[in-house]
Amino acid sequence: MLPQKQAEEAMVSSSNLTQHDDRDEEMPNESGLGLKSLLWHGGSVYDAWFSCASNQVAQVLLTLPYSFSQMGMLSGILLQIFYGMMGSWTAYLISILYVEYRSRKEKENVSFKNHVIQWFEVLDGLLGPYWKAVGLAFNCTFLLFGSVIQLIACASNIYYIDDHLDKRTWTYIFGACCATTVFIPSFHNYRIWSFLGLGMTTYTAWYITVAALANGQVEGVTHSGPKKLVLYFTGATNILYTFGGHAVTVEIMHAMWKPQKFKYIYLIATLYVFTLTLPSSAAMYWAYGDQLLTHANAFALLPRNAWRDAAVILMLIHQFITFGFACTPLYFVWEKVIGMHDTKSIFLRALVRLPVVIPIWFLAIIFPFFGPINSAVGALLVSFTVYIIPSLAHMLTFRSASARQNAAEKLPFFLPSWTAVYVVNTFIVIWVLVIGFGFGGWASVTNFIRQVDTFGLFAKCYQCPVRAPTGSH
């Protein structure tokens, strides 16, 4: 009867998970739905969906046409679908591991009041300190460079509206602007930002699609991709990066009032993202072809008009939001390191978070390579952070019969066999290790080094058109 009793305890404990989140922002009362509650306190299933979808389609929307030019149309479409499904599965695994960790800790009467659970803590609780160290190293490095990419993207985008300042100067300016995200306490408080962010990327994606189709194919357009293995695998790892945006999954779940409802949110968010990424990248590649090989940002090729400028401005705002998404888990880690995580003063927490922004700012100025850095981050960091580590962690957590029997969550309805789950997880580990990290790492690092050799570190204006000499007409 002991296994049955343990299973009952697990069910009771995990049912507690659906009732509340112990973070300082509590579930609002029905009678208190004021403006602050409407815009600030987000913890519903819809908030989590907006957060996942908004976080997934930031600046990569502008680099996917570049990936299509490296890989060709067919590979670009198929790999988006393939990696989208793979990313949804590993996000599902992360959510299962979070619920398992939370239920075990609550049986031990551990309270999470004023404490945000993070991925490395889940690994530590389920698998021990070595896994914590690995998870912390990969996750923090990925989020660090994810934030760097947002700053680079801001400078790259604004340049297409105002080229009086070079991209490096714009990076200085937007670094200061993005530093204001230190005032946003947690993922509870991204409700209005997530909603607006997804609206902005939806507009931008459909603007790119319609503009490319309306302008038609440029004269002499060629579609030669794929023609080099380096370019092919660089493009593939950019797509791997696109659907590997769930380094913040645990933090988004913890901000939910009922985190057990997260299970399929990432999949539904990914299906929506397909409606944005597939049409826009395919239309751009059809219209501009090989020109995209030297234009990593789709805005560079689209004719300037009010519609394009609106898309640029909306993407700038969204990249500010995404910077906050990537940086907030880093803020939490830093707060825990210096013992300030349970501080309720917004201003004091903002002050202690500032040192996190400075290295991000500096790295964005050193490596301003918009497309290639996406691929390098995808191959070297995303491959482990959001594909390999969750798959291995899930297999090891439930390797014993008792762990499987007493699991806080049942197997998914579409894969009701532990053997099948292990087969899928093993396939993901091998595929991403060989194709994503191996070939992708080789290709993206090779391409990245070429960019450094061509443009140099601290490049003042990466991929900017050559200006005519002053006074010429």
The string of pLDDT tens digits covering residues 197-221 is: 899 999 999 999 999 999 999 998 9
Question: Which residue matches tokens 């981050």?
Answer: 377
Kindly state the tokens that stand for 141. 């490095």
Which of these ranges, 44-48, 132-136, 430-434, has the smallest mean pLDDT?
44-48
Residue 19: pLDDT band by 50, 70, 90 thresholds? very low
Q: How far apart are CA 216 and CA 218, in angstroms?
A: 6
Q: How far apart are CA 119 and CA 109, in angstroms?
A: 20
Q: How far apart are CA 423 and CA 88, in angstroms?
A: 16
Burial of 136 (0-12, 13-18, 19+ CB in 10 A): middle
The answer, yes or no, to whether residue 464 has pLDDT greater than 70, is no
Over residues 56-81, mean pLDDT:
89
pLDDT at 177: 83
**Amino acid identity of 120?**
F
In the chain the domains, ranked by start, together with CATH numbers, are 43-455 (1.20.1740.10)
Over residues 230-236, mean pLDDT:
85
The string of pLDDT tens digits covering residues 345-393 is: 888 888 889 898 888 888 888 777 656 676 777 788 888 988 999 999 9
Contact 327, 357 (CB under 8 A): yes
Q: Provide the whole-model pTM.
A: 0.83
The answer, yes or no, to whether residue 25 has pLDDT greater than 60, is no
The string of pLDDT tens digits covering residues 99-137 is: 999 999 888 888 777 778 889 999 999 999 999 999 999
Question: Which residue matches tokens 């390191």?
Answer: 337
